[in-house]
Amino acid sequence: MLDLVDPQGSANITVQEPSFPYTYVYGNVFHNTSTVDMVHYGGDQGVPANDRNGTIYFYNNTVVVEANQSATYQTVLLQLDDSGLDTETGAQHGDVRNNIFYVEPATAGAAPPGFDFGCEGPEAIYANWIQAAGRTGITIL
């Protein structure tokens, strides 16, 4: 749904900007009916020096996932990715707070997909409300 990765034609200017390592996704409504990885953050051009290495701040959003597990086994909020090279440097981080996550099946009686924040390590996941298979309530980590 969002592809927030390395710049292509403006890398020589963009990566020099002091604000480049900070990405803010605030106050949106996302209705996901088929996407497995909702937000791609980091890089995919194979040039690690141009990757978006920093923190994505995902605050005050509403995310509704409407899909069947048979078509989308699991939905992942943040795909933190280094250069598309299948290497993990830990240079991308997620800060996920004050959001509403609601996961339901697209067809009555079907199983809804699983839900994963996609953040590992020192990420911050606080005060989110989640209604998903096996995960209901407020997240406080």
Rg (Cα) of the chain, in Å, rounded? Answer: 16
Cα first-last separation, the chain: 26
pTM: 0.87
Helix spans in the chain (H): 11-14
Residue 102 buriedness (CB in 10 A; 0-12 / 13-18 / 19+): middle
pLDDT tens digits for range 66-117: 999 988 888 999 998 765 555 556 788 899 999 999 999 999 999 999 888 8
Flag whether pLDDT at 121 surpasses 90: no
pLDDT attached to residue 60 = 97
